[in-house]
Structure formats: C-alpha cells, structure tokens
Structure 1
Amino acid sequence: MRRTRGSRSAARRWRGHLYVLPALAVYLAFAVLPALRTAYLSLFDWDGVTLGRWVGLANYREVVVDPVLRRAVLNSLALVGFFSVLPVVLGLVATGLLAGHRRRGMAGYRFVLLLPQVVPLVAVGVTWRWLYGEDGLVNQALRAVGLAGVGRAWLGDFDAALVAVGLVGAWVSSGLCLMLLLSGVGRIDPSLYEAARLDGAGPVREFVSVTLPQLRGELAVALTVTTVAALAGFDLVYVTTNGGPGEQTTVPGLLIYRLAFSEGRVGLASALGVVLGCLVLALVAAVNRLSGAGR
C-alpha cells in the first residue's frame, strides 16, 4: 500500500515537471543559450563574418579602460535615478495622500497615469523631441512666464541633455509605479488604518507604520522593473538624442548596437552586454534584498 501511494506521488511530481518542460525549453532556447553564447563571444575579437581571434579578457579590460564605454555605464546608472528612484518616490507621495481614503474618478486617474506605458516608446521619444526643441512647447511655456533666458535646445545641450532624457523616462515610469503601489494599498486591511487612528496616529505616522510596511512587495516589483528599463534602455535614447551631444547621453544598449552592427566589433559588444547583464542582476538582487521581497 505504501509503495502504491509512493509511486502515485512520484507520478504526480513527474507529471508536474512535464507541464513545465515546454516553458523551460523556450526559456533555455531563447534566454539561457543566447546568454552563454554572448559570454563565449566576448572572449574573441570577431567582426561577425570572418574567423574570430581569441583575446581572453581583453574585451572586458577595454570596457573598464575605454572612457566612452565607461561613460555609457555611468550614464545608465544616472538614469536609474530618473527611471526608477524618482518615479517610486513620487508614487509613494501620491499613495500616501490617497491611502485609506476613497476618491471619486480613480478609474479615470489610473487610465491617464498608465497611458505612457501603453504608448510605444518610439512615439514618446518623437513627441518629446518636438516638445524639447527650440520652438517646442517647453520653451514656449518658459517664454510665457518670463523665463526665456532659461530656454534652450534641451536635447542638444551638453549640460541638460541627460537630465532631459531622464525626465522623459520618469514621466513614462511614474504611472506604472503609482498603479503598482495603489494596487498594493487596495489589499491592505482597512482595520489597520482604523486601529492606527484610534491610537492617535496622524497621516504621516499612519503612512510610515501601516502603508509603507505593507507595500514591500510592490516596491520591490516597481524598483526591479524600472531599474531594468533604465539599464537596458535603448529606444528612448536612440530616438531622442542618439547618444548625443557628444557622448553625454550614450548608454550601453546604444553602444552595443553600434559596436556589433556598425563597427563590426562583436566581441567587444558581447563583453559590454555581459557587464550590463551582471550589473542588472546585481542591482536587482540588491533591491530584493533591501526590500525583503524574498522573505
């Protein structure tokens, strides 16, 4: 009898594994194997056509030493502050104002806030490139309030280009972060807010003691998604500035494209891709550890 039950349990486990196999096969074919192939190619000096030449870790050394490649990595880290940190902070502020209270028209607010996530980033980039132009709406608004001296060609200015692109990313990500945080607030037990109010907690104390601890999972998801978008970004930068002026807005995704398809330096592009992937994994692991999402 025990053997029969054990064999049935083993059969159920194997049946469960069979259901997972198709998804696992797709993941291995389109994620794991290309990543391993990229890591292998990063050890060669290869133009994508002729026979490659083994160079070992020379490509990784160039990623660290080359100022253009190093600047691209630093730019992507700076964009994390705009794409990830700023939208999460704004989302927390808005959530703190709305938590524990019902507001009319919330469905309409959510639609408007999530709209940037629905619009393709190429369309977003083209629109903001016009808004940031010398005769764009941003400069027109500044002139209307008497700040004409502040206006400039924002995406062509060496000091303002990266900030301008970062603010576009913050605008795109803010709606997603707020939606995630509001959905987390929706599952918080209202009795927790009532208990906090009975204990004399004010709005700030209520947010710190009730809302924020209950949103750890949503914060981890928001930070993870936006951090990956900031580090692996390509289309928004390509459409708005193409890395200019100079190398002020160049990011690793754009350099990988240039190195592999324009300059024929596939090995160096692969090494930069591996470094970028390791950086993404490190930051995501740090986010999950700090948020306690894995507990």
Structure 2
Amino acid sequence: MASPPSAVARSRAIPYLFILPALLVYGAFSLYPLVRAAQFSLFEWKGFGASTFVGLQNYLDLAGDADFRAAILNALVLIVFYAVIPLVVGLALAAILRRGQVRGMGFFRTVIFLPQVIALVVVAVAWRQIYSPNGLLNDALAAVGLESLTRGWLGDPATALASVGFIGTWVQMGLVMLLLLSGMSRIPQELFEAARLDGAGAVREFFAITLPSVRGEITVALVLTIIAALKTFDLVYMTTSGGPGNATTVPSYEVYFRAFDLREVGSASAVAIVLTIIIFAINVGVTRIGERES
C-alpha cells in the first residue's frame, strides 16, 4: 500500500499549482499559435481549401526574395531610430535632468511618457498629417526660408523610411528616458559628492558613475525598443503601407501582405517564424552582453 505524500512534498507542489494557470494561458495564446505558424510554413496554402506540403521550400524561397531582404534591411535601419537614437539622446537628457535636479520631475516624467500611452494608430494618423505636402513640417520649413527642403516626406523613397523611423524615435524616447531616470535616481548622492570633491567634471562623472550604474536599465531599454522596431506594423500600415515601392516594408508588414493580399499563408508563416528567430537571437545577444558587462 502506497504511503501518503509527506507534508514537504505537498508544500513543494503548491507553487506549481499557482503557476499552472499562467502556463496554460501562455501556452494557449503564445506557444500554440507559434507552433501552428511553424506548421503552416511547411505548406503551400491560400488560407482556404486544400494545402500542399512543400517542406522547407517556403524558407528557401525567402533566401532569394528581394522584397524579404529589403524588409529585413529596413527593420535593421529602424532599430537605429527605435533603439540607438533614443538611448543616446535619453542618456544625455536623463543625466542632465538628474544633475540639474529639475523641479516638477513627476510632471515631466508623465509628459515624456505620454507617447507610450497613446494608441499608435492615432500617432500614425497625426504624423501622417504633419508629413503631408501641406502639413505642419513643410509649413515650418517654408516659414524659416527652407522651402527648397519641402517635399512629400512619406511619398519620397529617399525620406520615407527615415520619416517613419523618426516617429518611432518620438514614441520610444519617453520610455527610454523614464527607465534611465529611474535607474539614475537610485544612485547614492554620496558618490557624486565624492567625485566632485576629487575634481571630477560632468563628463567624467557621467562615465565613471552614472553610466556603469544604469547598465541594467540600458539592457532593458534596448530589449524593449529592439522588439518594438522589429515587430512594428501599425505605424507602417497607417503611414505608408510599405511604400513607396518597398522603401518602408518591414517583416511584420510582409506577413500581413503575403497572407491577406497575396493569399500565400505558407510564405507569410515562414516570414513570421524567421522574424521570431531574429528577434529572439538579437535580444539574447543584447541581454548576454549586458549581463557580462554588469
């Protein structure tokens, strides 16, 4: 006859009972769709009717697909606008605000975080009006005598991607600055006072104390903003729809375009899986670099 489980065994099992519902929800809404997308990527299917098993052919086709390569390159460019520029500017501004002890910091943090809480569809519509030929940006350039620079910013292949990227910079700046300000607020004031007694200036103080102290926040900010850059869809869809040509197409928009416009569900699923792998690989690399340097 089996003996009843001991009290220790029961106590060890209790935490898993609380985790199990979360695992079930995560599996149902994250893992299962991912597995289904991987399954669809092995078939040629229009989204209805019969499907044909093609194995890895959809992935092989992507290797020679110029539109897909352009989408990947555009996404990498957007990383500069979504992650690198907000991080560099955010570090500088956060350090200035931290050193200057600006009054009303709580109100300022709320204001700079506002782009994060506004729906991106609303943001896209507003910036599309700003970038229009008769929009605020061209009016401002004409008012200061730079009328030669006016153009249809989202309709020009030379400026469309940078214009969309700048919207991403504006959106992500508040999040990055808030993370960095939060990290800097935890630095003991005694470290800064000791550095000033040793004759350290603002620049030396930044690189010796501030920057090493916020490496964790920098890593988090990079992970969040890189993910946002690689999976951006709504901004592109609402502003340019991937155009002109393929100047602003990105992998997430390629998934939508192939699945719903071209009716190539297998190819769209392959793009989604490749995008997932790229996001995972880049963010694992960023996290490991941050952990190694901390």
Matched, 1:214 2:196: no
Greater shift after overlay, 17-26 or 47-56?
47-56
Q: Which residue of 2 aligns with 1:224?
A: 223
Matched, 1:283 2:276: no
Q: Which residue of 1 aligns with 2:58?
A: 59
Q: Is the 8 A contact 1:288 1:294 kept in 2?
A: no
Name the SS of the counterpart of 1:164 in structure 2. helix
CA apart distance, 1:100: 4.1
Q: Which residue of 1 aligns with 2:191?
A: 192
Mapping of residues 80-229 of structure 1, within 5 Å = 80-229=79-228
Name the SS of the counterpart of 1:80 in structure 2. helix
CA apart distance, 1:294: 9.8
Per-residue CA distance 1:127-154 (angstroms, 9 max, x = gap): 1101001111100110011100011000
Q: TM-score, normalised by structure 2?
A: 0.95
Q: Which residue of 2 aligns with 1:255?
A: 254
Q: Is the 8 A contact 1:217 1:293 kept in 2?
A: no
Q: Is the 8 A contact 1:45 1:265 kept in 2?
A: yes
Stretches of structure 2 lacking an aligned partner (at least 5 in a row): none
CA apart distance, 1:39: 1.0
CA apart distance, 1:7: 3.5
Q: Is the 8 A contact 1:220 1:293 kept in 2?
A: no
Q: 1:198 & 1:289 partners in 2: Cα distance?
A: 35
Q: Which runs of 4+ in 1 moved over 4 A?
A: none
Q: TM-score, normalised by structure 1?
A: 0.95
Q: Which residue of 2 aligns with 1:20?
A: 19
CA 1:8 to 1:198, structure 2 compared with 1: closer, same or farther past 3 Å? farther
Q: Is the 8 A contact 1:99 1:211 kept in 2?
A: no
Q: Which one-letter code corresponds to 1:233 in the other structure?
A: T
CA apart distance, 1:108: 2.2
Per-residue CA distance 1:181-227 (angstroms, 9 max, x = gap): 00111111112212222222111111111111111111111111110
Per-residue CA distance 1:245-285 (angstroms, 9 max, x = gap): 11100111111011112221110000000000000001101
Q: Which residue of 1 aligns with 2:49?
A: 50
Q: 1:129 & 1:37 partners in 2: Cα distance?
A: 36
Q: Is the 8 A contact 1:216 1:293 kept in 2?
A: no
Q: Could you say what the CA RMSD is over the residues aligned between the two structures, in angstroms? A: 1.7
Stretches of structure 1 lacking an aligned partner (at least 5 in a row): none
Greater shift after overlay, 235-244 or 41-50?
41-50
Alignment: residue pair count: 292
Name the SS of the counterpart of 1:292 in structure 2. helix
CA 1:105 to 1:29, structure 2 compared with 1: closer, same or farther past 3 Å? same
CA apart distance, 1:293: 7.3
Greater shift after overlay, 161-170 or 52-61?
52-61
Task: Provide the identity percentage.
Answer: 48
